[in-house]
Chains A and B, each alone.
Chain A
Amino acid sequence: MNDVEDAQLLERSRRGEESAFSELYRRYQAGIYRYAVHMCGASAGDDVVQETFLAVLRQRGRTDAPRQTVAAYLFGIARHVVLQRLGSRYQPLTDSGDDDVSEVASGALTALDTLTRAETIAAVRAAVQSLPLVYREAVVLCDLEEMEYAAAAGVLQCPIGTVRSRLSRGRALLVTKLGAVYATAHARRS
């Protein structure tokens, strides 16, 4: 999406232009909804979307453009809403920086080959849900919402190296968890 156009839509939305707001909402509500559901559960999706866009509209006195992309700006607000909901359940890690876990053991995923698509999706969703929140949000933003590392770093308010580190750890944990899912499914079938 053209970010200049996004910025114009944001500015026009703050001025009360319905068509601009509808377009901005159409572009980003689904991603924010999914992010909220992954972080807080299905019941939070609507509320987080509403609070995020209300916050945007209530900043109508602002005339400056966001320092980052509009997507990162919106997800940043959504994250703020999500963290308020999570409260003490969200435990930020003291990241050591760019200690990338580059080699993800992918052997365990071979097992998924034998699962149906629906079973695979259910298994992956369960695995993502079981990740610690700091890793989960990195996986959700970068792998599921396909956000660039720099934008994700803006949303998470941390260095890019930290995003990479969390993503690698999250992926490694996912592979391990998915291996366990397969083992359970395989045992059930045999």
Chain B
Amino acid sequence: MKESEGRPSLGMVLRTMAEDEARLGASSGIEARLLAEVRSIAAARRRRMAIAAFAAAAVVLLALWIGSQRFVPPRLDQARVTEVVTDFMPLTYSGVPSTNLQVVRLAVPRTALVSFGLTPPEPLDHIFTDTVLADVLVGDDGLARAVRFVRPAADQEQMP
């Protein structure tokens, strides 16, 4: 307890007490509880990172999918399906001049073919309906000038 002068200083006795108390500390259970909290933070952080990574991957995949949709080549079976058409056949007002003609596609009764001397074709899918497709050439005055008949057909097939 003595300093060199033979008298203990306040600092010395405080240091003595501090040395004695150096062994003090929180119980081990406190550190265990705090470490559990740290682990939960780490787990939450991992979850957040996984969600962020998943979201980023989803965005990238979606972008790639959208991009691929824009450049899809026509399907082979679609490419092979064509239309078979007749020549345009004049109608009553075919002689009326018109500067602007438009083609309008209509479904007309199958009997319309007969009136033009044509035989109704057998449909490709073998499902018979009461109508056939026809392209009507219409002038800007609303008068029909000509008509042709249309049906889907495989390559090389010709309309009768």
Asked if B122 is at the interface (CB within 8 A of a chain A CB), the reply is no
Check if A144 sits within 8 Å of B14, measured CB to CB. yes
Q: Within 8 Å CB of A160, what residues of B?
A: none
Q: Within 8 Å CB of A53, what residues of B?
A: 34
- Residue of B18, B27, B45 near A144 (CB, 8 A) is B18
Report the separation of the CA atoms of residues A145 and B91 in the bound assembly, to the nearest whole angstrom.
Answer: 111
CB of A86 to closest CB in B, whole Å: 19
Report the separation of the CA atoms of residues A121 and B17 in the bound assembly, to the nearest whole angstrom.
Answer: 5
Check if A25 sits within 8 Å of B34, measured CB to CB. yes
Asked if B11 is at the interface (CB within 8 A of a chain A CB), the reply is yes
Asked if B25 is at the interface (CB within 8 A of a chain A CB), the reply is yes
Asked if B42 is at the interface (CB within 8 A of a chain A CB), the reply is yes
Report the separation of the CA atoms of residues A177 and B10 in the bound assembly, to the nearest whole angstrom.
Answer: 11
Report the separation of the CA atoms of residues A60 and B43 in the bound assembly, to the nearest whole angstrom.
Answer: 13
Asked if B7 is at the interface (CB within 8 A of a chain A CB), the reply is yes
Name the interface residues of B10-44: CB closer than 8 Å to any CB of A.
Answer: 10-11, 13-14, 16-18, 20-22, 24-27, 29-31, 33-35, 37-39, 41-44
Interface range for A: 35 or more
Asked if B9 is at the interface (CB within 8 A of a chain A CB), the reply is yes
CB of B124 to closest CB in A, whole Å: 67
Question: Which of chain A's residues has its CB closest to B43's CB?
Answer: A16
Asked if A91 is at the interface (CB within 8 A of a chain B CB), the reply is no
Report the separation of the CA atoms of residues A34 and B25 in the bound assembly, to the nearest whole angstrom.
Answer: 7
CB of A114 to closest CB in B, whole Å: 9
Report the separation of the CA atoms of residues A18 and B38 in the bound assembly, to the nearest whole angstrom.
Answer: 6
Interface stretch of the complex, out of A1-9, A69-77, A93-101, A102-110: A102-110
Report the separation of the CA atoms of residues A57 and B39 in the bound assembly, to the nearest whole angstrom.
Answer: 11
Residues of B within 8 A of A (CB): 1-2, 6-11, 13-14, 16-18, 20-22, 24-27, 29-31, 33-35, 37-39, 41-45
18 contacts between A and B (CB under 8 A): A13-B38, A14-B41, A16-B38, A16-B44, A18-B42, A30-B24, A33-B24, A46-B29, A49-B26, A50-B34, A57-B37, A60-B41, A106-B7, A106-B9, A106-B10, A115-B1, A146-B18, A178-B13
For the complex of A and B, 9 pairs with smallest distance between CB atoms = A16-B42, A16-B41, A30-B25, A49-B26, A124-B17, A143-B14, A144-B18, A21-B38, A33-B26
Not counting A37-B24, A139-B14, A175-B10, a sample of 7 additional A-B residue pairs whose C-beta atoms are within 8 angstroms of each other reads A30-B22, A46-B29, A106-B7, A109-B10, A113-B1, A113-B8, A115-B1
